[in-house]
Amino acid sequence: MTSKFLRSLLAVAVISMISAWAQTAGAAPTEPPSAPSASAPVATGTGTKIGTINIEQAVLGTNEGQRDFAALQKKLEPKQNELKSQNDELESLQKQLQTQGDKLNDDARSELVKQIETKKKSLDRAVQDFQEDGQNQQKEVFQRILQKMAPVIVKHAQEGGYAMIVDTSNPWPQSPVLWYDGNKSDITKVVIDLYNTQSGVPPPAASGAAAPVKPGASRTTPKPAAPKATTPQ
């Protein structure tokens, strides 16, 4: 499932970025604009159709998104493996306490419990730092691609006669969209294709590539996996 972090990011970034691009669509900027304020009004077109787009899938489904999130996951793997080793060591000590605790004298048992508590606190802090760092790096990748995708969405909407494009990344009741016919209204795949053509980024190699995102299909957001640390018995 998508992290709550990316859900909250979508709620602010999507509306503000796309609205800003829609309001300035008549001028061709020479460089990507910085993210506008979240209070920017939502712009609507002059067409008559209403379209839907899953922004989350659109960003993650681009060749650039698959490439950059895969690279980020690979970058985080060494630290993730390090945390797993620490967690394995902690679980080994906990198992030792459970199986041999009643055979140890008071001092030995007290020392083992103290060792477990110290390692657990250290692991908990390391996991929290790792998750925060991973989320921050996810945010940077997501925002960078979304910022470049916004004018692609606006241009397609204007040329296609759309009066409104609604983001369906969040299911109802988290979003106001109760129901929609994705086969008739969804432009996610079209936007992915347009963005890929514009970016020039080739598809990921087949050996490590994720399956192409289809409108309406779920996709797992790449995120650091936190090792499970159990409480000393």
Long-range contact set of residues 4-11: C-beta below 8 Å, sequence gap at least 24: 5/135, 5/138, 5/139, 6/56, 6/138, 6/139, 6/142, 6/221, 7/169, 7/170, 7/174, 9/139, 9/142, 9/143, 10/55, 10/56, 10/167, 10/169, 10/170, 11/170
Flag the least confident range among 141-145, 167-171, 191-195: 167-171
Could you say which DSSP state residue 211 is in?
P
Is 138 part of any domain?
A: yes
Residue 224 pLDDT greater than 80, yes or no: no
Nearest to 10 by CA among 33, 52, 38, 39: 38
What is the domain extent for residue 106? 4-25+38-52+73-185
pLDDT given for residue 146 in this prediction: 96
Is 57 part of any domain?
A: no
pLDDT digits (tens, 9 = 90+) for 146-163: 999 999 999 999 999 999
CA atoms within 13 A on the CB side of 58: 28
Residue 19 pLDDT greater than 90, yes or no: no
Rounding to the nearest 10 degrees, give the CA dihedral for residues 212, 167, 59, 28.
130
pLDDT digits (tens, 9 = 90+) for 76-86: 999 999 999 99
Name the one residue in this structure whose structure tokens are 């759309």.
162
Is 17 part of any domain?
A: yes
Number of domains in the chain: 1
pLDDT given for residue 119 in this prediction: 96
pLDDT digits (tens, 9 = 90+) for 176-212: 888 888 888 999 999 999 999 999 999 998 754 444 4
Judged by DSSP in three states, 222 sits in coil
Q: Which two tokens stand for residue 214?
A: 């289809």
pLDDT given for residue 20 in this prediction: 53
pLDDT given for residue 35 in this prediction: 42
Is 181 part of any domain?
A: yes
Is 208 part of any domain?
A: no
Is 63 part of any domain?
A: no
Q: Which two tokens stand for residue 12?
A: 């602010």
Is 216 part of any domain?
A: no
Residue 218 pLDDT greater than 60, yes or no: no
Distance CA 4, CA 174 (A): 12
pLDDT digits (tens, 9 = 90+) for 78-120: 999 999 999 999 999 999 999 988 889 999 999 999 999 999 9
Is 225 part of any domain?
A: no
